[in-house]
Amino acid sequence: MKSWEQITNELRQPFPVKSIHFRVGARTKDKKKGIPLAYIDARDAMERLDQVVGPQNWQRRYPWSDGKRLYCEVGIRVGDEWVWKGDGAGETQVEAEKGAFSDAFKRACVNWGIAQYLYDMPNAWLELNEYGNAFKDENSLASRMAAWQERYFAPKENQK
Domains, in order of start, for the chain: 4-144 (3.30.390)
Q: Which residues pair with 70 in a beta bridge?
A: 65, 89
Of the candidates 78, 89, 107, 103, the residue with the CA atom closest to the CA atom of residue 4: 78
Instruction: Please report the pLDDT score of residue 1 as a whole number.
Output: 80
Instruction: Please report the pLDDT score of residue 155 as a whole number.
Output: 87
**Where are any strands of DSSP class E within 57-153?**
58-65, 69-78, 81-90, 126-127
Its pTM stands at 0.87
Series of mean pLDDT values for 10-residue runs along the chain (160 residues): 92 97 95 96 97 97 83 92 89 66 92 97 95 93 95 78
Instruction: Please report the pLDDT score of residue 134 as a whole number.
Output: 95
Of the candidates 136, 146, 76, 81, the residue with the CA atom closest to the CA atom of residue 112: 76
CA distance 82 to 106: 19
Containing 39, the helix (H) or strand (E) segment is: strand 33-39
